[in-house]
Every structure is written in structure tokens, then in C-alpha cells.
Chain A
Amino acid sequence: MKKIDFPPEESMYRTALVELLYQLADDDFILAYRGSEWLGLAPHIEEDVAFSSINQDMMGHAAMFYQLLEDLGEGDVDDLSHSRKTNERKNGVLLERVNGPGHYLGKHEFDWAYTVVRHYFYTQFKKVRMDSLKTSSYQPLADVAVKVRMEIYYHLLHWKTWFLQLMQSNSDSRGRMEKAVQRVWDDVDSLLCYGPNGDDIVKAGLIEAEDKLLQRWKHFLTPVFEAVHLSIPEKLKPAAASGREGVHTKDLEEALAVLSEVYYMDTTASW
């Protein structure tokens, strides 16, 4: 890929662009990691195949967004994904939360309902985001969005199916799902906001305004929620920590330590 330089008079545009790219990259990266922790533990073997494939796609999307950052001179893709500290990460806090107590290698109580709800909400938001990015003022980003959009068609179908089925299953399943929905609502604001540079990001024409995307996102969720007799809250609870400002939970810290372990064994290794 070619290195892209911006003239000094466009430094504000560049700052906003870089900010948005970190959000996009870090969101997909950490949720793909959380998803991959389910490998071998998913409810059944067909789900294991499907979820692994989805995680691989999402990691591929994160890699593309990191690549756009590398092209802007932000550093090397592997470095950007593995060695940035917790307070440099821009993902929404919702996406870093553990799948449940315990560790995937040992005793654990991973919560499938939470995973389904979080992935469904995220994927629907990602779709709305990509739709908007298709007309981004930064052409390389618009090009990537077109490609990502096609791939997540299948992800969305997948998570929506799980969501509807578990919501309409027995009372145990319904109860777990409702609890999960509540937990995701509590954090979802962390995903929908563009952070402190939000105004500049929108002014630069990189993506449409937050509230526009929020409305569209709710519009897609509404028929699904109506089908399972659940209501969508009018107002979202402000997120406890703002991931977009680099404020995160210890869940992220622990995840980064695990996922970068091999990378740090030999940072110069060629894979």
C-alpha cells in the first residue's frame, strides 16, 4: 500500500480521520478476540464453525482499518494491533467486557445469551456504520466499507436468527436473554458515540452524525424487538467509561496481556 501524506493545512482533517479509524479498528479487533475465546466452547459444532468464520472475517476487517492507519504513517499493522496500551485503545467499552467469569482454558461460565445480544447489537450497528461510510469523504475508507458491508450480511443474518430463537424459546432462555439485553443497553452508548473529536469527524464528512446513525440503528432493531415483544428504551444510559477517550475496564487490560503474549515473544518474527 502507498503511504499517504496530508499537507499541513489539512492536519485537522487528518486528526479526525485517524481518530475514527482507531475506533473502527479497535472495535472489530477486540470483539473478534472475545469471539475467538469461544472456540471449542460454542453451544454446538455448527456454531463453532460459524462463529470461527465470523471471528476471522472481523479480524480481517480490523486488519484493514489498521492498514489504513499504517498508510497514514501511524505505524505498522501488527504493532498497532498488539502493542498499544490500554489507554491508547479507542474501542467501545461494551466490546471489551468478558464473555463471563473464568478463563477459556480453565473453569468458566461464559454467557451465550450475552454473546448473542452483544454481537447482534454490534453487527447491526456496524451495518449502519458501513452504509454511512460508503459515502465517506476519505475514499480509501469508503472502498473498504463497501467490502466489509458485503461480508457482514451473513453475520447479521446469523446473529438475528440466534436472537429471535433464544428470545422465543423457553422461560429459562427468555430470562437469560432479557438479562443480557439489559446489560448491553447499559453499555451500548459507549459504542454509538464518536468521542471527544466527534464534531470534527462529522464536519470532515468522514461519517454522518451520531444521532442519525442511532436513529437508523433503532429503526432496524424495532421490527425484531416488536416480534419478541420487547421495547427499545427511549433514552440510552450514558456509558460508565468512555472507551473512545481511552478509559477502559480491567477486562481490556487482561485481554491485551493475553492476546499480545505470543507477539512479545519475538516482535521481529515474520509470520
Chain B
Amino acid sequence: MNEEMILKALHKVKDPEIDSISIVDLGMVETIKEEENRLIIELLPTFMGCPALDIISENVKKQIISLHLYHHIDIQFIHTPPWTSNRITERGREQLKSFGIAPPPAQLSESGDWEVSCPYCGSQYTAIENLFGPTACRSILYCKSCKNPFEAMKPISTLM
């Protein structure tokens, strides 16, 4: 199995709603395996009701087909382990910022408060406007320093 080529192809599959970040950097790719000439890719959905899942699955298929390595490709969404926001890679966190979305707080504080820096100016002087945002995985915030509204990925953890 040419894992390097497959991973490279998967890096080309972006989140349909945040096109700066790939599903690999989002931490959605759990396993890539080969069984009897069949390539099996197991993905973790970020949120269960995410309407982008079918599109992601189609796009993965297209990228793998273009490699001309496999005739049979099986893409499955699994729930173990559950996706958590700390699966987003360092590079992924930077890519989110370039799209104007603050990465999720790396750690949840004891009180449950978040410390989110503004993706534009880096200020920590921000406020949550709405825990819920335009997609299931995002919240709406406001930067009191540079006066820009922005979005942040919700922290999701098994400790919740």
C-alpha cells in the first residue's frame, strides 16, 4: 500500500465549508487499510448531523480514484474513537486562522471558560456572542480590540 500517495490525495480533500483545511489536518482520518485489493478508509465525523459528510465521502472517493491504484474503495464513517477538537493538527490550526476562524481552545479551563484569541489581531480581549454558529462545529465571537466579529471552532472533548 502506498500510504504516502494516499495521504497526499487525502490532503487535497478540504472541508467543504472551510476550504483552507484538509480532512487530514482536521483529524478526521482514522485508518487507511487494504483488504483483498480493497482500500478501506475510515473517517470520523466531526458532528453527527454535519450535512457535509456525504460531500466529503464523495470527494475522498474522487481523489483516490484519480490515483489509479484501486478499483474498490470503501469509505466508512465510524464513531470510535470519537472525533475531538484536539485532533486538529498544528498546521490545521494555522489554516483555520487563515480562513478567519479561531482554532478551538487547546485546553478547557476548570470553569469551562474558553480563552480564544482573535484570528485577525491575536488579542485575547474577545467575547462569545453565540455558542452556536453557521455550522454545527463553530461559535460566533467578537474581538473587542480590533472590533471584528469572528468564528471559532467549538472545543469538543470526551471530558465534557
Contact = CB atoms under 8 A, between A and B. Distances in A.
Contacts of A157: 131
A64 interface: yes
B80 interface: yes
A49 B130 contact: yes
Contact of A150 (B130, B134, B156): B156
Interface string A34-62: 00000000000010011111101111110
Interface in B103-157: 129-136, 140, 154, 156-157
A158 B160 CA distance: 14
Interface of A: 1, 46, 49-54, 56-61, 63-64, 143-144, 146-151, 153-154, 157-158
5 A-B pairs with least C-beta separation: A60-B49, A50-B132, A60-B48, A53-B132, A153-B160
A68 to B, nearest CB: 10
B16 interface: no
B131 A158 contact: yes
A50 B79 contact: no
Nearest to A58: B49
B132 A158 contact: yes
A61 B48 contact: yes
B76 interface: yes
B100 interface: no
A154 B84 contact: no
B82 A57 contact: no
B110 to A, nearest CB: 15
A58 B48 CA distance: 9
B79 A57 contact: no
B132 A154 contact: yes
A60 B130 contact: no
B49 A57 contact: yes
A53 B136 CA distance: 6
Contacts of B50: 60
B48 A147 contact: yes
Contact of B47 (A49, A57, A153): A57
Contacts of A60: 47-50, 136
A64 B53 CA distance: 13
Interface string B40-83: 00000001111100000000000000000000000010011011
A12 B140 CA distance: 48
B158 A146 contact: yes
Nearest to A154: B131
A102 B140 CA distance: 33
A203 to B, nearest CB: 26
Contacts of A147: 48, 79, 82-83
A144 B44 CA distance: 12
Contact of B49 (A1, A56, A144): A56
B156 A61 contact: no
Contacts of B133: 49, 53
Given A58-B49, A153-B160, A158-B131, 5 more contacts: A57-B48, A143-B79, A150-B157, A151-B47, A154-B132
A46 B129 CA distance: 8
